[in-house]
Chains A and B, each alone.
Chain A
Amino acid sequence: MAVYEQTYKRYAGKLTPEWSRFLIIPRHAYRAVFNSKLFTAFFVVCFIPLLVEAIMIYLHHNFSALVAMKVNVKDLFPVDASFFQTFVNIQGGFAFFVALLLGPPLVSRDLRNNALPLYLCRPFTRTEYVMGKMSVILILLSAITWIPQLLLFLFQSYLEGFTWFRSNLWIASAIFIGSAVWILLLALISQTVSALVKWRIVASAAMLGLFFIPSVFGEFINLVFQTRWGNIISLGALMKNVTAGLFGTFDRISGRISISDFDDNVIREILLIEPPLWCSWAMLFLICAICLAVLSWKVKAYEVVR
């Protein structure tokens, strides 16, 4: 169908492999996403903590620089599991805001403009559609979470030596699993909210609400009942426990409350015990399962009125 011919002609060229077609969605989505200067600026800001992390690792091994600065940085921040866990948590926070900006319009726009039939009338399944939309978030969040963190882990291994690398390889798996679980959760929740709410602002508000309202409610339960089981409904607390478990810093006793009489004599001490790790993992799986069920219900070419 050449322009000058202006006749209808069938396409007889080669086709792209079916497995790779879901990646068409992120490729086209990034064009629109990085058109926004505000988003691009924020995305660049997301790399600042990683830069700080890289500088700290460098200083940790550069004795002349340490001497020049007259500080004992080695004792100040040992590069160990806690060091990487801290930065995984910081990047997790940035990932949340990127997902908040990027996620809500992804499916809701298609629903609002009735675009789903256009995707699904092609050799493109609902699973591929969801994978494509999720990969928009997953690829960007990977770029600010586990990929640079693993590169920094390799940087540290390079400076420290192979023995350190071999004995601390589990940190790399903790970085990858911890970040992957968090960004997968963010992607699933943002897609689900986006599929349920057609308007971007409402979807963003709903996503914020989903993260903060249960956290506040969970904290209220913790305070009233002098427990830590309220954390089971707080996404942030769940992820904090899971990450701590992965980095080997999880402690079920997270605090103590002392009850004193008027003379400040302790009459009773209550241990604040975190829910077991398996409960946090189970809760995360449950949330993911609910998200997938909602997506399977909502991502359809047409809603059927029964």
Chain B
Amino acid sequence: MALPAAVPEEPIKAQPALIEPPVIDLHGLSVSFGRRQILKNLRGDLRGKAIGLLGPNGAGKTTLIHTLLGFHQPSGGTAQIFGMDITEDAKQIKSLIGYMPERDSFIAKMSAVHFVRLMGELSGLPPEAALERAHEALFYVGLGEARYRRLDTYSLGMKQLAKLAQAIVHGPKLIFLDEPTNGLDPPARLRMIKLIREIRDSGQAHIVLSSHLLVDVEECCDEILILRDGQIAVYCNLEEERKSNRKFLMLETRGDQEKFVKALAKLGCEYALSGANRLKIVLQEGVDVRDLYRLADQEQVQLRRLSYKRDSLEDIFLKAMENGYGGL
């Protein structure tokens, strides 16, 4: 069995994320509606490319987004987006962000291209540029062929895509997506997730994705914030989590498993058998995945499947719902 070539270590670079201001910086942000406190003293900074906002219904996800967008005034504390205060620099912030609302939001009696163009112009684009980018945005989200149709004739999935198009028409630096996959059928949901991941991977924009669907957040986000009763229940950097859990492996083997596990024990790895031909392994310091391949080669065992085991987002979410509150 050929072993994968060793990957040369990359030189350590200064992380731009540490130099640039955080995408969202919460300074004891509180929001009250009358006597009802919705967000309670939120603190922390979020720097991810795609930030997931999770929480049960009524946890304050949408209120947090609306407050960051300047729709609600904080009752205490403040927040910054790219180092700008949400109350003092609201206009500058709004020129850098795009927003896809949760509910159906349209301007009546307009074709998609007219609607997206208007939204582009309201964001400050000159009319010609707005029209050009409206066409491009609609093609990008997959509504190119239907762009001259009136929005009220669109299906739910198409309306969601049109909402995404208006959120990105002006090329914002930060995009708030509030429940973008709500009501979508599986193919439409996959398409939406693909688009979100493409935008994230382009490196041109940060994304804040609010959803109660864990799988959506898990597929798109590298950083998550779980809210419960208006407080931060858990902050989790999924990317770090993935890296830190690289030592836990699930293996599926064919061949003499007994000899293989003995060899593993000699290497100092802890293991547990989980069903026929299945193994859970904890790699020790200095032991690499390539060593496992070498061992399998020596013991004439086939490795049919090898995957990293980590806490799923569902595990993290359920723990957050059971446990107390935790800050960043």
A→B interface (CB under 8 Å): 1-3, 6-16, 18, 21, 24, 28, 31-32, 105, 109-110, 112-115, 117-125, 300-302, 304-306
Contact = CB atoms under 8 A, between A and B. Distances in A.
A24 B121 contact: yes
A114 to B, nearest CB: 4
Nearest to B69: A121
Contacts of A124: 94, 122
A1 B114 contact: no
A9 to B, nearest CB: 6
Nearest to B71: A301
B308 interface: no
Given A14-B126, A124-B122, A301-B66, A2 B71 contact: no
A15 to B, nearest CB: 4
B91 interface: yes
A16 B33 contact: no
8 contacts: A3-B139, A6-B139, A113-B104, A114-B101, A115-B105, A121-B101, A122-B94, A123-B92
Contacts of A110: 107-108
A114 B103 contact: yes
Contact of B33 (A12, A121, A305): A305
B69 A306 contact: no
Given A7-B202, A18-B124, A121-B69, A115 B107 contact: yes
Please classify the interface of chain A as helix (H, G, I), strand (E, B), loop, or mixed, using the class held by over half of its residues. Answer: loop
B107 A109 contact: yes
Contacts, number: 137
A113 B91 contact: no
Nearest to A10: B171
Interface in B158-191: 166, 168, 170-173, 176
Nearest to B65: A121
Contacts of A2: 136
A84 to B, nearest CB: 39
B interface, how many residues as a size bin?
35 or more
A39 B308 CA distance: 67
Contacts of A9: 171, 202, 204
Q: Which 3 A-B pairs have the closest CB atoms?
A: A306-B34, A11-B171, A15-B124
A16 B199 CA distance: 26
B118 interface: yes
Contacts of B125: 11, 13, 15-16
Interface of B: 33-36, 66, 69-72, 91-92, 94-95, 97-99, 101, 103-110, 114, 118-119, 121-126, 129, 133, 135-137, 139-140, 144, 166, 168, 170-173, 176, 198-199, 202, 204-205
B100 to A, nearest CB: 9
Contacts of B70: 120
Nearest to B205: A8
Given A1-B136, A1-B140, A24-B118, A113 B71 contact: no
A162 B132 CA distance: 52
A102 to B, nearest CB: 14
B94 A121 contact: yes
Given A8-B202, A306-B36, A13 B105 contact: no
Which of A2, A10, A28, A121 lies at the interface centre, i.e. has the most chain B CB atoms within 10 A of its CB?
Answer: A121
B121 A16 contact: yes
Given A15-B125, A16-B124, A113-B104, 14 more contacts: A1-B136, A1-B171, A2-B136, A3-B136, A8-B202, A11-B125, A21-B124, A32-B110, A115-B105, A118-B101, A118-B166, A121-B101, A123-B123, A124-B122
Contacts of B172: 10
A10 B173 contact: yes
A113 B107 contact: yes
Contacts of B176: 121
Nearest to B178: A117
Given A8-B202, A302-B66, A13 B126 contact: yes
A114 B178 CA distance: 14
A182 to B, nearest CB: 28
A74 to B, nearest CB: 51
Contacts of A14: 126
B118 to A, nearest CB: 5
Contacts of A305: 33
Contacts of A118: 99, 101, 105-107, 119, 166
A113 B25 CA distance: 32
Given A10-B173, A11-B170, A123-B91, A32 B124 contact: no
